Amino acid sequence: ENYTPHMESFWLNEMKKGNASPRHTHYTKHFSGCFYVDMPNKAPGIKFYSPVSRIDKPTIDVRQHGTFNSTMWEFLPEEGQLYMWESWIEHEVVPTDFEGVRRTAAFDIMLKRNRATFF
């Protein structure tokens, strides 16, 4: 109740075979999201990178990566799904060989503090 979400930006994406969206963040926003309109067979999903992957110091050796210790997570959304994440999280879409057009609607959201009411 102290904050109101505001859509700061909205754009439509069409990706064809070989197109990509390089690794990036939307660091000046609070939340980002993507609605998957068309996901042809073999179209690329989205990869998210853990902020731990930015640390240059070696960490404990990992024998097997899992949900809680991976530095990257890849998801293959289905048509009609909505993904949202904190905007500072790095993400990318890698080029893939597929037929058709991958269509998404993406957006960024900012949380605006509501004015305090004093009685």
What would the pLDDT profile of 94-118 be if each residue is shown by its tens digit? 999 999 999 999 999 999 999 876 6
pLDDT in tens, 40-67: 999 999 999 987 655 555 566 666 666 6
Q: Structure pTM? A: 0.82
Listing DSSP states for 26-85 in one string gives -TTSSEEEEEEEE--TT---EEEE-GGGG--S-----SS--TTT-SEEEE---TT-EEEE
How far is residue 42's CA from residue 76's CA, in Å, rounded to a whole number? 9
Residue 31 CB contacts under 8 Å (≥ 6 apart), including other chains:
5, 84, 85, 86, 87, 108, 109, 111
How far is residue 100's CA from residue 89's CA, in Å, rounded to a whole number? 28
